[in-house]
Amino acid sequence: MSATHVSSSAADFSAAQAVAAGTDFADLKVGAAGLFWNEFRPADGACRLWHWRNQQAHCLTPEGFSVRSRVYEYGGGSFCLGGDGLVFVNEADQQVYTQALDGSAPRALTQAADRRYGDVLWRDDRLLAVEELHAASVEHRLVSLEGEDREVLAEGADFYASPTLSDDGQRLAWIEWDRPAQPWTRTRLMCRERESLGGWGPTRCVAGDGDQDQSLQQPRFDGQGRLYCLCDRNGFWQPWAELDGQWQALPAKAADHAAAPWQLGASTWIALGPEAYLATWFEEGFGHLGLRTEGHQVQRYASDYTRFRSLAMDENYLYAIAASPISPPAVIAIERASQQIRVLAGGGLPLPAERVSRPQPIRYPSGDGQAHGFFYPAMRGQGAAPLVLFIHGGPTSACYPVLDARIQYWTQRGFAVADLNYRGSSGYGRAYRQALHLRWGEIDVEDACAAVAHLAGLGLIDPHKAFIRGGSAGGYTTLCALAFHDVFRAGASLYGVSDPLALGRATHKFEGDYLDWLIGNPEVDAERYRQRTPLLHADQIKAPVIFFQGELDAVVVPAQTRDMLTALKANGVEAQGHFYAGERHGFRKAENLAHALEEEWRFYCRVLGW
């Protein structure tokens, strides 16, 4: 296949078009005034609130504002319904604003430059939120604010999430955890109750304080004030309820009903009664949506979609952010009686459906276990195709079998794509997720190399034309694979980790102990770090590498990437570096996203001699 042929045949789906298809949504909220959501568009990198009314979507966020929290750096829970309108976190200053629905300008509710807010909740003219204080150290609290009145509801733990109130306002619940735990390893469910004089009673732990490690998330109250949560005590994040003074597992699929809580504000289930709930769950990586009644019957909805987020509901409709193998993220409304689906926003196909490469689930042996992922066949060319292996970030995160225009960009150009959920990914239960403990840079790399062998054995790809690429933690796996194995022709690291020790010294509080869990104690396990640090083994990398890095990245600082790039060039390895001013950890500007995608493709073409 010649370079001319590749360029001309793929010109009708450009990198710019692939990036433009990356509109995404978050935080669906429904109330008496209608349905609201947060929408991100790559064109300007801003997040704006939209309101569905009169059968149309209307943007509410004025110019100069972007709705995004940066608590724990990854944010989430950046707006809620409140009073006569909305309450939201503004991205630029991380302060909370109120906004009426009459078109008036937002009004600042907080003015504390040293504080950030997230997971916001409004009740009875008061704001409840996770507060992040940046002073001599970074501290987190759960607070309640009303004008100048500030009440600390919980402090002393290292992290807080998911403040929620019962309908009558008499019970407050939240999730908290302490270092060195992560929110997907060990957390506690806490509760306070109103006293007769109106104040809050003592804090008590109602779940997660025993000897067994368990992760709890998304606490919920039903209409009668009963408390629920998702808990992985039995191996998966499943619904549990506090009934008759005892915690009981509710009838549920033996499957994860949530992803790892990297961000605040997740809503993957809604408690409705002692055994009734709306939920989404994963089976072999595919998402399902169902409404369980107290008679143990499960009514499934929207079976054509394969991932659901941000669930909400009212008397007549179920709402979700949903995506499928041929549909990018969309805001959908499902009529409960007829099950008819209406797309309210998003979901537009960037390509004709017949040209979309569909995900095929793969499960394959690797090392002492097995790994999962999705294979996307090349849509051009004949015979065994070159392969681009996608490694997701996190690393305790996941990829999903939904339309990703970046993947389609490659398949339209004659490349097959494998999107891996290597051991350590979420969505396959606690044991699978915990498999990465102390083995990062080992089993994730093992799974990446085994995927090439597996797909080649099926005759689906050319193993001599395999490429590996990943962002953040995925970049680390990429560099380790290139340093310690001779499997890939070239690789791409997007703001990837090349020096875990340097990352540990510079990273933020939320991930301050993450590397100890992934690799070990830097002092006690110094040799393990040395063995798994790509920068120290740059002389073993022979394959070409291309780097993409944001200059404002506070997670993987630019110096890491520059050091790796310098080391490779000094060893005579073909290496390129692209640095973007104004970008942080994960690119947001459309022109930079498109430039990186196209430059990566051109790099691989040169390696292949196209």
pLDDT in tens, 212-241: 899 999 999 999 999 999 999 999 999 999
Dihedrals phi, psi of 9, to nearest 5 degrees: -70, -25
Q: Supply the pLDDT for residue 554.
A: 78
Quick one: tokens of 475?
Answer: 């970049």
Query: pLDDT tens digits for 165-182?
Result: 999 999 999 999 999 999
Q: Is the peptide bond before 180 cis (omega within 30 degrees of 0)?
A: yes
Residue 591's contacts (CB-CB under 8 Å, 6 or more residues apart) are none
Q: Supply the pLDDT for residue 236.
A: 98
Query: pLDDT tens digits for 305-348?
Result: 999 999 999 999 999 999 999 999 999 999 999 999 999 999 99
Q: Supply the pLDDT for residue 83.
A: 76
Confidence band (pLDDT; 50, 70, 90) for 24?
very high
Q: Assess whether pLDDT exceeds 70 at residue 9.
A: no
Q: Supply the pLDDT for residue 7.
A: 41
Q: Are 70 and 588 in contact (CB under 8 A)?
A: no
The burial of 608, by beta-carbon neighbours within 10 Å (0-12 exposed, 13-18 middle, 19 or more buried), is given as middle
Q: Supply the pLDDT for residue 147.
A: 83
Quick one: tokens of 352?
Answer: 């004709």
For 439-471, give one letter per residue: b (16+ CB within 10 A) or e. bbbbbbbbbbbbbbebbbeeebbbbebbbbbbb
Query: pLDDT tens digits for 411-460?
Result: 999 999 999 999 999 999 999 999 999 999 999 999 999 999 999 999 99
The burial of 599, by beta-carbon neighbours within 10 Å (0-12 exposed, 13-18 middle, 19 or more buried), is given as middle
Query: pLDDT tens digits for 181-202?
Result: 999 999 999 999 999 888 999 9
291-295, 321-325, 345-349, 588-592: range with lowest mean pLDDT: 291-295
Query: Could you tell me which of 48, 38, 97, 92 has the C-alpha nearest to residue 70?
Result: 92
pTM: 0.94
Mean pLDDT of the chain: 94
Q: Assess whether pLDDT exceeds 50 at residue 4.
A: no
Query: pLDDT tens digits for 243-269?
Result: 888 999 999 999 999 999 999 999 999
Q: Are 398 and 444 in contact (CB under 8 A)?
A: no
Q: Which CATH superfamily is domain 3-16+351-608 in?
A: Alpha/Beta hydrolase fold, catalytic domain (3.40.50.1820)
* Residue found by looking up tokens 């009212």 in the block: 314
Give the Cα separation of 156 and 152 in Å (integer): 11
Dihedrals phi, psi of 98, to nearest 5 degrees: -110, 150
Dihedrals phi, psi of 60, to nearest 5 degrees: -105, -20
Q: What is the DSSP string of 31-69?
A: ETTEEEEEEE-TTT--EEEEEEETTEEEE-PPTT--B--
Q: What is the DSSP string of 211-250?
A: SS---EEEEEE-TT--EEEEE-TTSS-EEEEEETTEEEEP
Q: Assess whether pLDDT exceeds 80 at residue 142.
A: yes
For the chain, the residue count is 610
Domain boundaries, the chain: 3-16+351-608
Query: pLDDT tens digits for 363-394?
Result: 999 999 999 999 999 999 888 999 999 999 99
Helix (H, G, I), strand (E, B) or coil at 186: coil
Query: Could you tell me which of 551, 535, 606 has the C-alpha nearest to residue 574?
Result: 606
Question: First CA to last CA across the chain, in angstroms?
Answer: 7
Q: Assess whether pLDDT exceeds 50 at residue 10.
A: no
Confidence band (pLDDT; 50, 70, 90) for 300?
very high
